[in-house]
A and B are shown apart, each in its own frame.
Chain A
Amino acid sequence: MITSIVKRDGREVPFSVEKIAKAIYQAAQAMGGKDYDEAYAIAQEVGKYIESNGNTKPTVEQIQDAVEKVLIETGHARTAKVYILYRAERSRVREMNTRLMQTYEDLTFKDAKENDVKRENANIDGDTAMGTMLKYGSEGAKQFNELFILDPKHAEAHRNGDIHIHDMDFLTLTTTCCQIDLLKLFKGGFSTGHGFLREPNDIASYSALACIAIQSNQNDQHGGQSIPNFDYGMAPGVKKTYRKLYVRNMSKALELICDIKDSNEFAKEIYNKIKEENGVYPTISNDNNYEELEKAAMLKKGIKEKDYDRCRAFALERGLEETERATYQAMEALVHNLNTMHSRAGAQIPFSSINYGTDTSPEGRMVIKNVLLATDAGLGNGETPIFPIHIFKVKEGVNYNKEDPNYDLFKLSMKVSAKRLFPNYSFLDAPYNKEYYVEGDPNTEIAYMGCRTRVMANNYDKTKQVVGGRGNLSFTSVNLPRLAIKSHGNLDIFFEQLDSKIDLVISQLLERFEIQCKRKVRNYPFLMGQGIWLDSDKLGIDDEVREVLKHGTLTLGFIGLAETLKCLLGVHHGESQEAQNLGIEIVAHMRNRMDEESKKTGLNFSLIATPAEGLSGRFVRMDRERYGVLEGVTDRPYYTNSFHIPVYFPISAYDKIKLEAPYHELTNGGHISYVEMDGDPSQNLDAFESVIRCMKENGIGYGSVNHPVDRDPVCGYTGIIGDTCPRCGRHDGEGISVEKLKQLKGFNDLRGYDENPLEDGDKVTHI
């Protein structure tokens, strides 16, 4: 007699024939069966069978084995099949629960140093309370989506490492990123969801609101936020500040020179009168008839001409000076804010990018100059700012050549980049970028987001091929090296497999798009609610975002082109022209497939050179387990970033740029190339400039120069530090006496080191 059954966790519960009958009945129902009595009879058979083996306390597994056996023996093979599948599914769920709990256990009890998951993204601090909470949510969502949302064939391809669905934790929630058009946003003010903000009135509030916009948008999306027109967007703030400061200084001069009481009222009255009657303001460039009008008004009020001229000169000089200072402070605040303000429950600093360099107005130039100087100065203790990512737009006729109006700012940008690693450089004259450029319309100047994302062409609405209000919706990367391994050097097989993976990715992107489309404006209170996203201002709060999302991109990515070529040909594209040709053929093929899909669907499919932070280790780890260590393919802990020449391969900067440039043209969803420069480029700005010019001349779209930036927090030295600090001589982690520190040149007890005005030293806390 069976008394009880033993569950998986060891607990004993009473044996019940009904429960077994119900499970069998469910399986039978799936095959169209309707006979519960028969199911009950089979369940009784199962009981008898177990008893006949002398087992009085069977385990769940033993009962399930018996059910399968009896089903098959009594001629219910199809029901047995369903039952077996159901059982396998249940055990996968169970295994998943265990896996999730294991992940949670690691997140809870291991710190980031021991736990790679916590370091998956280097800018989330996995050791903080909110960072860990974010990870619980993210890991749980990933596994839920894999199990219950994704089409099983997409889930399987992701699980086994054929493809990688990026940001799978956000699968059902939102889209990747957006380029925020500041000019449009600030017009008339906006609401953050926690209160309405008026149209800003000076450069300080422009800068503060830009930060708030980035932060608010970041909470509505899972990727980064970019401002494509930072200089153009901030310039009106400088204009407004200048007006105020001009009038303030005019009033001071009037009081002092002309003995006017209530000079403040006096000056404002004239300013307001001219504003209302003539619609003109004082401007830095003095490009209107404000002076004439002001002079006439003042003379009419009895001010002597000679005195007016003196007041005017004073107001011009001081107004400009103070505007410059206010702009610097606003830019300094922006850099500080973007490095300290938190989003996403406090665990992550917003991933912010700002693009600038082409505004040639005096106000725009002031913004560019001061945001560069603030970055050069660094944070409170002279630390290199991590955010925002600066992207300097290089354009012939604007800033590229000596005679160009912003050439001085291009020069300054390189000086700053040589010290602080930013700006990166985007090239508006690369043919595939230039084709969208319309002179006088900043919205047609190419911009990049964060790591590399690029959104420009608009197949959905060809009248809106602009950067503002658009971004990537989602992207999925294909494991190229695995396809190469599996095709054993046969290119036909390789391309055949590649096509089938591309088909899979397209269907997955479309399925995810369908989920994203069903979201409503209210799900994105800032992004859609405030009209940041293109055309979202035409939607009501309960409308689906389907139509406007079509302005965004659905993107295929890839990593490990170098390992792929190595596997197919024995050499990578840095080593042979044949490999380079094949590399271009492979990437061009992927691009063509995306173009075809765009044509077919009316959507924007694009190809991105995947920024492989979390992925670079995942694919190769799985491939090494499957196929063993293959030289040049799986023998390192990472697959090479997208189309890059491998980082370990010795090559000149010039050759690297030349070889990588053709891939920029093909990867319309985003790309970047790096050059690793030896030594301290601050000491060799000519070499730095020659690299940037080389990128431009060879058709690179987006590039930057890497070099070591080290800092000693004790003495504040920033530069290259080997084993010992060149300034104070201490080793890593070694103490140094305060006495010795004080003897160092430039030491100031209160402010630390100040020998270099662009590099504030560190403060020493005394306890």
Chain B
Amino acid sequence: MSNKVVEVNGVVGEGVTFERIRRITGYLVGTLDRFNDAKFAEVNDRVKHSISTGAGLMEQI
């Protein structure tokens, strides 16, 4: 797929994918399809870390 935006018959964006920028090992990568297989799997496995503000844990500091 190409990310070049061109108008064809009054329509734009056909075949244009969303960019999904992720941090790989400290630096950023513009799209997931540049990741190697292992890193791709790792990125997919990432879970979010809960941040409790207010009276939560982070207030212990």
Contact = CB atoms under 8 A, between A and B. Distances in A.
A466 interface: no
Contact of A733 (B1, B28, B35, B38): B1
Contacts of A452: 26
A294 interface: no
15 contacts: A116-B36, A122-B29, A613-B36, A620-B38, A638-B41, A649-B47, A652-B51, A675-B49, A687-B51, A706-B46, A708-B20, A708-B22, A710-B21, A712-B18, A732-B17
A647 B48 CA distance: 9
A766 B36 contact: no
Contacts of B15: 733, 735
Interface of B: 1, 3-8, 10-30, 33-39, 41-42, 45-53, 57-58, 60-61
B19 A122 contact: no
A423 interface: no
B10 A739 contact: yes
A735 B58 contact: no
Contacts of A656: 49
A710 B20 contact: yes
Given A713-B19, A733-B1, A652 B25 contact: no
A28 interface: no
Contacts of B37: 116, 119, 617, 637
A110 to B, nearest CB: 14
A735 B12 contact: yes
A383 interface: yes
B57 A451 contact: no
Given A122-B35, A616-B38, A389 B6 contact: no
A647 B45 contact: yes
Interface string A684-705: 1011001101100110000010
B58 A694 contact: yes
B7 A676 contact: no
A489 interface: no
A229 B11 CA distance: 48
Given A120-B36, A733-B17, A676 B48 contact: yes
Contacts of A647: 42, 45-47
A113 B47 contact: no
A665 interface: no
A472 to B, nearest CB: 14
Contacts of A687: 51, 53
B49 A676 contact: yes
A616 B39 contact: yes
Contacts of A620: 38
B49 A652 contact: yes
A738 to B, nearest CB: 5
Interface in A714-767: 714, 721, 725, 730, 732-739, 741, 762-767
B51 to A, nearest CB: 5
A654 B50 CA distance: 8
Interface string A584-613: 000000000000000000000000000111
A599 B28 CA distance: 37
A410 interface: no
B47 A613 contact: no
A650 interface: yes
Contacts of A144: none
Contacts of B17: 732-733
Interface string A630-653: 000000111001000001111111
Contacts of A649: 47
A614 interface: yes
Chain A interface category by residue count:
35 or more
B21 A721 contact: no
Contacts of A120: 36
B57 A122 contact: no
A766 B42 contact: no
Which 10 residue pairs of A and B lie closest in terms of their CB atoms, listed nearest first? Answer: A617-B38, A451-B26, A735-B14, A714-B13, A611-B25, A678-B48, A653-B49, A637-B41, A735-B11, A638-B38
B49 to A, nearest CB: 4
Contacts of B53: 684, 686-687, 690
A674 interface: yes
Contacts of B22: 706, 708-709
A421 B46 contact: no
A305 to B, nearest CB: 56
A738 B12 CA distance: 6
B26 to A, nearest CB: 3
A610 to B, nearest CB: 9
A113 B50 CA distance: 34
A708 B30 CA distance: 12
Interface in A238-291: none
Contacts of A653: 49-51, 58
A663 interface: no
Given A647-B42, A648-B47, A677-B51, A386 B25 contact: no
A765 B61 contact: no
A403 B13 CA distance: 49
A558 to B, nearest CB: 14
A617 to B, nearest CB: 3
Contacts of A636: 41-42, 45
A112 interface: yes
A620 B36 CA distance: 14
Given A638-B39, A676-B48, A765 B18 contact: no
A433 to B, nearest CB: 18
A711 interface: yes
A191 interface: no
B24 to A, nearest CB: 6
Nearest to A734: B13
A725 B16 CA distance: 12
A710 B28 CA distance: 12
Contact of A613 (B5, B18, B39): B39
Contact of A612 (B25, B35, B49): B25
A766 to B, nearest CB: 5
B20 to A, nearest CB: 5
B4 A650 contact: no
A762 B16 CA distance: 13
Contacts of A650: 47
Given A616-B38, A765-B6, A421 B18 contact: no
A738 B26 contact: no
Nearest to A121: B36
A763 to B, nearest CB: 8
A351 interface: yes
Nearest to B47: A650
Contacts of B42: 616, 636-638, 641, 647
For B1, B13, B34, B53, which residue has the most chain A Cβ atoms within 10 angstroms?
A: B13
A471 B47 CA distance: 34
Contacts of A621: 38
Nearest to A688: B51
A743 to B, nearest CB: 13
B43 to A, nearest CB: 8
B12 A736 contact: yes
Interface string A183-208: 00000000000000000000000000
